[in-house]
Chain A
């Protein structure tokens, strides 16, 4: 079975631009979460989506948005990019129901110049 897949793997954008990152969860997983990991820090929670609805949001500005599609894949959008948005963006999927663990993708490395 395929794990969590993210695209693209690397991306370079200019300040002020917009970016869309994509995530496909493990088959059968209905929950997708997004994290931002700045160099030298642990991942920071951005969003959780389940059944196409936002179920949790971290302390990030409104420039960050996301959505989940009927096939449970997800997109993370960031508007008006700042240099400080340069980070590894991680997607995690999990089965909702019972006690379980989250499975992470390899991430998208975003560099804002």
Chain B
């Protein structure tokens, strides 16, 4: 799986959009970009994933650059409950045996301030 690079920490004001960047310059054509977050003392939580098109769900939006070498997770209206470690993960999909391994890096600690 391709390696990802994320800033170690970011701050955001409550109610504002939080934009979390991720670099994955060695991503392969069949690798998807996944985002998870981990709130203190809880298990990681899936947020969103995508291949090359921008994706949006009830939690966030994922913007992937045209060359797929970087992406941005957008939390449109951050709340205090969004304070967490955010992990960007790149992995291959397809095939029954490939779902188990998620390679977590250090992630980005997002702190949302009142």
* A positions within 8 Å CB-CB of B: 4, 31, 33, 35, 41-45, 47-50, 55-56, 58, 90, 92, 94, 96-97, 99-107
10 residue pairs of the A-B complex, CB under 8 angstroms, read A33-B100, A33-B102, A41-B106, A42-B87, A50-B100, A56-B97, A92-B102, A99-B32, A102-B99, A107-B42
B96-110 residues at the A interface, CB under 8 angstroms? 96-97, 99-107
Tell whether, in the assembled complex, residue A96 and residue B96 are in contact, meaning their CB atoms are under 8 Å apart.
Answer: yes
- Whether a CB of chain A sits under 8 angstroms from the CB of B45 is yes
Q: Is the CB of B107 within 8 A of A42?
A: yes
Are A45 and B32 in contact (CB-based, < 8 A)?
A: no
| B49 adjacent to chain A (CB < 8 Å) | yes
Q: Are A106 and B97 CB-contacts (below 8 A) given A43-B104, A45-B103, A99-B32?
A: no
Cβ-neighbour of A42 out of B93, B96, B97, B104 (below 8 A): B104
Nearest chain A CB to B70 CB, angstrom units: 19
* Complex CA–CA separation, A50 to B97 (angstroms): 7
Q: Please name the 5 residue pairs, one residue from A and one from B, whose CB atoms are nearest each other, closest first.
A: A48-B100, A42-B104, A104-B43, A101-B46, A33-B100
> Can you name the residue of chain A whose Cβ is closest to the Cβ of B104?
A42
Assembly CA distance A99 to B87 (angstroms): 19
Chain A, Cβ-Cβ closest to B100: A48
Contact check, B42 vs A99: say whether CB atoms are below 8 A apart: no
Q: Which residue of A lies closest to B95 (CB)?
A: A96
Min CB distance B74 to A, Å, is: 18
Checking B43, B96, B105, B106 against A106 with a beta-carbon cut-off of 8 angstroms, the contacting residue is B43
Q: Please tell me if the beta carbons of A55 and B44 are within 8 angstroms of each other in the complex.
A: no
* CA of A38 to CA of B57, assembled, Å: 31
User: Could you tell me the distance between the alpha carbons of A31 and B106 in the complex, rounded to whole angstroms?
Assistant: 25
* Docked complex Cα distance between A48 and B101 (Å): 7
Contact A45-B87, Cβ < 8 Å, known A101-B34, A101-B46: no
Contacts A42-B87, A99-B93 given; 16 further ones with Cβ under 8 A?
A4-B43, A42-B105, A44-B104, A45-B100, A45-B101, A45-B103, A48-B101, A56-B101, A92-B44, A96-B96, A99-B49, A100-B99, A102-B99, A102-B100, A103-B46, A107-B43
